[in-house]
């Protein structure tokens, strides 16, 4: 509906960047660390007051995946319009007309284009990913009026992963999950020729939306600020995807399809139009008149099917020109769509939908975005992946992943140090502290033997030569910063792609074998392979940590040891760059303490004296959305969609802006994401309680605030975990601080939830108090009378209710704005709480010492972690007491009986004895009767213990 305007020039770009306050980022691109840093604006609810506020307001909303991010009107504009029309009661139509025609607003597309032009490639990737999650269209071809060339945004879209269910998988309930740039789909493009009275983008939104749930995928004229003239975004080509869910009553298109939308007149953007013609299955051309542009439309090289879309109500529309062009292009009546006066929008969209459906179902032309790069090269379009650093990073990553055929075998061959040896080392470390198997052996000798065993295992690790994969990995992450970042992104992408394919195949095998219940052993083997087949960048960093720790057992002058001394600094730099560090190895349930300590020491050296930190952790049952919550709150990207749940615990560093350091009294915020507790695959193991309780105690002990993530159906399990954490804290002298607790109740959308759940919150606290008192009594620390004596918790402010993640039915549902807003309120609350306890912030070296002492305390704990909750502990203690009483009574009876029996036997044959027992056979019968009586006493005494109101396990 926008009036065509000439192609923008450099002056337009300079003006708009200046207006937006982005001019400094045009040459020196905006980094991700700048967007993620904690600052005043992060917890400021004020809307943007001037144009320079708009970009970071948009980024703040978008990084939290808020679907309202494109509402970008300044309050100053709203207020001035309001003041102009209401400041006087006197009628002045001239002033009213002037105020209505004020164009001090910016089109959202201009803001998006400016941000993409001013951001580095890693920010562009984040923007595209978050926009896709909001179901916004993302840039396919990005115009730049400075260079007068456009760029294919292939790299920017690399991180977008989509799941959908085509019709052929509906019955089996299967699904397809893949990176969208690799999906070969038909693309249908929508363009405008000349002036057009129909709003192409608004019609597209209706085309892609169900009647019961409309969504603005594309910015259009009737959106907030959508009617503002575009200044730098003409020539922008956007793309989105329609993906079916497998329900024919809900799906608009039964097959997946890509939808492209070119902004501006194709007469002004012939290169973009040519690109679309060569990559699309069909092009729908919106027009009002067709007098002079036949040559552009009749290009023989353009093989896409052409559809003409006109508006009969336009004064410039003529049937003659349509007929002439239709004859020239040999179009049928199905290729011409005319909106008449008698056709309303709903009927017209239905007609358009039918035509697109025909194209999708019958098209032989399918192309992935990755394949479109070849067309882009031919047309002189820049491809964002063509930079030398990107290609070098890709080459290094491909060299590593090309060798992977069987994941399990690859891990054994290329990453051997983290396998069985590391698990044995973990068991030895814990046994050194717990001494469970010492028996009657001298304790000091036993410990010395364990240390010798540990040294043998470290020597065994050192006997392995560094594998080819690890040599390539360490070389690649030692390269310059941009290339290193590209390499790690490419490696993660490649590994995720391979894992996704392998896991999909294993799931299919598992499903087939489950149909035959006799194949129990095979099912068990496939289940084990499913658990062990994950391979991510964390495995390479884990191996690097083991290589480093093993090298410390070599002599200091050994060249092999000296060559590896730079590894902690390398990892510390990656932490500063925004990459996560594995704190707890999820497979071995252990912390490589020396490795983590040395990385943190190097980190401290890199940032000193600005080294104060506050720690936020999340804890919850598996698959309750912990990583998603952290990603939404802080804009980070903990893994959530690679077919693998988080294992262990990962820490991420977020910088605190200078203007906010005085409020928080820290320089960095550490975010720790943890493995889901109560994992079904771990539940089969004997030590599953121990694993969960150790992890929970560690992360709660490390944190200043712990987010306890609860889905209503597993709240009991979380209470069990919390009881053990409290009990462990009472037992461990090393825990010298009170972590704060914030309960997050997921999937609760009722506005009255906080009020209605007051009783439940009170009941929860009463139960936790009861458990704390029981634990304190057992530990003889009865001064701890309530849960809040051990952990900081306020029932009124310490609970947050968050609605469901999706607004509608995936895969076409955007993230629920209510979810984003609730996560934002939680984030504000947490930052405010941290501000109050900011004086207690640690520096990085203190945090390092704290990790070591806390983990050692956890390893010392030999008893409490083996239980489900404090009630079971209490039951066990009572039962043990009863058992000891019963054992003593039984021993006393046995002693008395043996003494009497020995006396009788020794007296056998004497005159006195003969008077009592005349026959030896009769004597033996009496002894047997006594033994039988004692044997019967065992169950009766035990039964008496349980029937007298004693708790049992």
What are 260-312's pLDDT values in tens digits?
Answer: 999 999 999 999 999 999 999 999 999 988 876 567 787 767 788 999 999 98
**How many Cα atoms are found within 13 Å in the side-chain-facing hemisphere of 357?**
13
Quote the pLDDT of residue 35: 93
Decide if pLDDT at 85 tops 50.
Answer: no
- For residue 119, the number of C-alpha atoms closer than 13 Å in the C-beta half-sphere is 25
- How many angstroms separate the Cα of 751 from the Cα of each of 299, 365, 804? 58, 49, 13
pLDDT at 543 over 90: yes
Q: Could you tell me which residue, 713 or 52, shows the higher pLDDT? A: 52
Question: What are the pLDDT digits (tens) for 91-133?
Answer: 566 664 555 455 578 999 999 999 999 999 999 999 999 999 9
Element (H, E) at 800: strand 799-802
Q: Confirm if 651 and 638 have CB atoms less than 8 A apart.
A: no
Distances (CA, A) of 43 to 40, 60, 611: 6, 10, 23
Give tens-digit pLDDT for 546-586: 999 999 999 999 998 999 999 999 999 999 999 999 999 88
Going by pLDDT thresholds of 50, 70 and 90, the confidence category of residue 761 is confident
Averaged pLDDT for residues 427-437: 86
Q: Residue 86: what pLDDT?
A: 47
Which residue in 296, 300, 307 sits closest to 271, CA to CA? 296
**Is the Cβ–Cβ distance between 55 and 844 less than 8 Å?**
no
Confidence of residue 693 (pLDDT cuts 50, 70, 90): confident
With a CB cutoff of 8 Å and minimum separation 6, the contacts of 170 are 246, 247, 248
The span from the CA of 270 to the CA of 275, in Å, is 9
What pLDDT, on the 0 to 100 scale, is given for residue 789? 84
Q: What is the pLDDT of residue 173?
A: 82
Q: How far apart are CA 620 and CA 624, in angstroms?
A: 7
> Lowest-confidence range among 125-129, 595-599, 627-631, 722-726?
722-726
Please give the residue that has the higher pLDDT: either 377 or 868.
377
**Residues 14, 150: contact at Cβ < 8 Å?**
no
């Amino acid at each position: 509906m926008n009036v065509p305007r000439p192609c923008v020039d450099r002056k337009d770009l300079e003006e708009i960047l200046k207006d937006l306050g982005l001019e400094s980022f045009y040459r020196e691109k905006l980094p991700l660390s700048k967007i993620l840093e904690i600052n005043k604006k992060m917890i400021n609810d004020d809307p943007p007051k001037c144009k320079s506020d708009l970009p970071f307001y948009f980024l703040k909303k978008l990084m939290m995946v808020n679907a309202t991010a494109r509402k970008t009107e300044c309050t100053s504009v709203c207020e001035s319009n309001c003041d102009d029309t209401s400041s006087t009661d006197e009628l002045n139509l001239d002033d009213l007309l002037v105020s209505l025609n004020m164009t001090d607003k910016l089109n959202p597309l201009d803001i998006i284009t400016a941000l993409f032009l001013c951001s580095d490639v890693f920010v562009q990737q984040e923007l595209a990913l978050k926009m896709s999650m909001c179901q916004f269209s993302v840039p396919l071809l990005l115009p730049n009026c400075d260079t007068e060339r456009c760029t294919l945004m292939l790299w920017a879209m690399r991180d977008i992963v989509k799941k959908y269910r085509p019709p052929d998988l509906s019955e089996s309930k299967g699904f397809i999950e893949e990176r969208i740039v690799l999906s070969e789909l038909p693309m249908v493009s929508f363009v405008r020729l000349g002036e057009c009275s129909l709003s192409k983008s608004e019609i597209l939104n209706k085309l892609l939306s169900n009647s019961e749930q409309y969504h603005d995928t594309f910015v259009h004229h009737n959106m907030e600020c959508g009617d503002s003239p575009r200044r730098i975004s003409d020539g922008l080509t956007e793309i989105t995807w329609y993906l079916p869910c497998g329900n024919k009553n809900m799906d608009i298109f039964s097959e997946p399809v890509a939808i492209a939308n070119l902004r501006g007149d194709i007469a002004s953007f012939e290169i973009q139009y040519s690109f679309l013609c060569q990559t699309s299955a069909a092009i729908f051309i919106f027009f009002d008149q067709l007098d002079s542009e036949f040559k552009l439309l009749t290009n023989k090289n353009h093989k896409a099917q052409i559809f003409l879309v006109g508006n009969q109500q336009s004064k410039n529309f003529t049937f003659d020109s349509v007929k002439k062009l239709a004859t020239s292009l040999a179009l049928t009546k199905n290729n011409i769509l005319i909106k008449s006066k008698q056709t309303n929008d709903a009927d017209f969209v239905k007609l358009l939908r039918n035509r697109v459906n025909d194209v999708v179902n019958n098209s032989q032309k399918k192309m992935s975005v990755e394949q479109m790069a070849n067309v882009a090269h031919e047309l002189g379009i820049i491809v964002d992946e063509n930079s030398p650093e990107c290609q070098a990073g890709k080459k290094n990553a491909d060299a590593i992943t090309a060798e992977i055929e069987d994941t399990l075998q690859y891990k054994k061959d290329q990453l051997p140090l983290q396998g069985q040896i590391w698990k044995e080392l973990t068991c030895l470390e814990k046994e050194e502290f717990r001494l469970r198997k010492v028996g009657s052996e001298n304790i000091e000798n036993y410990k010395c033997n364990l240390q010798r065993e540990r040294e043998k295992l470290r020597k065994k690790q050192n006997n392995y030569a560094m594998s080819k994969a690890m040599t390539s990995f360490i070389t690649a992450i030692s390269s310059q910063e941009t290339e290193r970042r590209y390499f790690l992104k490419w490696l993660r992408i490649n590994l995720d792609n391979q894992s996704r394919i392998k896991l999909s195949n294993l799931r299919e095998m598992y499903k087939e074998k489950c149909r035959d219940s006799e194949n129990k052993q095979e099912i068990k083997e496939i289940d084990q392979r499913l658990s062990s087949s994950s391979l991510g960048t964390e495995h390479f960093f884990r191996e690097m940590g083991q290589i480093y720790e093993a090298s410390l057992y070599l002599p200091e002058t050994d060249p092999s040891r000296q060559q590896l001394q730079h590894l902690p600094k390398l990892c510390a730099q990656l932490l500063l760059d925004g990459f996560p560090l594995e704190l707890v190895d999820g497979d071995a349930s252990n912390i490589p303490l020396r490795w983590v300590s040395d990385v943190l020491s190097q980190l401290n050296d890199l940032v000193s004296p600005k080294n104060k930190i506050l720690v936020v952790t999340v804890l919850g049952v598996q698959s309750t959305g912990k990583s998603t919550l952290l990603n939404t709150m802080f804009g980070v990207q903990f893994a959530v969609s690679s077919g693998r749940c988080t294992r262990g615990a990962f820490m991420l560093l977020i910088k605190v802006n200078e203007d906010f350091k005085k409020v928080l009294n820290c320089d960095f915020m550490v975010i720790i994401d943890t493995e889901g507790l109560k994992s079904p695959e771990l539940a089969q193991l004997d030590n599953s309680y121990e694993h969960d309780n150790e992890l929970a105690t560690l992360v709660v002990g490390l944190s200043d605030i712990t987010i306890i993530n609860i889905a209503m159906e597993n709240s009991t399990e979380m209470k069990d975990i919390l009881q053990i954490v409290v009990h462990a804290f009472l037992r461990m002298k090393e825990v010298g601080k009170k972590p704060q607790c914030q309960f997050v109740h997921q999937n609760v959308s009722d506005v009255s939830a906080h009020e209605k759940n007051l009783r439940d919150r009170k009941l929860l606290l009463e139960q936790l108090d009861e458990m704390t008192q029981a634990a304190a009594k057992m530990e003889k620390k009865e001064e701890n009378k309530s849960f809040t004596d051990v952990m900081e918790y306020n029932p009124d402010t310490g609970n947050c209710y968050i609605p469901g993640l999706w607004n509608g039915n995936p895969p076409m549902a955007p993230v629920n704005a209510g979810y984003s807003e609730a996560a934002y309120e939680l984030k504000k609350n947490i930052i405010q709480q941290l501000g109050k306890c900011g004086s207690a912030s640690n520096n990085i070296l203190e945090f390092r010492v704290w990790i070591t002492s806390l983990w050692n305390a956890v390893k010392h704990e030999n008893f409490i972690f083996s239980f489900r909750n404090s009630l079971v502990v209490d039951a066990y203690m009572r039962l043990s007491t009863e058992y000891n009483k019963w054992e003593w009574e039984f021993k006393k009876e046995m002693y008395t009986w043996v003494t009497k029996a020995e006396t009788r036997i020794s007296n056998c044959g004497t005159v006195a004895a003969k008077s009592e027992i005349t026959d030896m056979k009769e004597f033996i019968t009496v002894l047997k009767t006594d033994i039988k009586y004692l044997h019967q006493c065992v169950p009766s005494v035990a039964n008496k213990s349980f029937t007298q109101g004693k708790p049992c396990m």
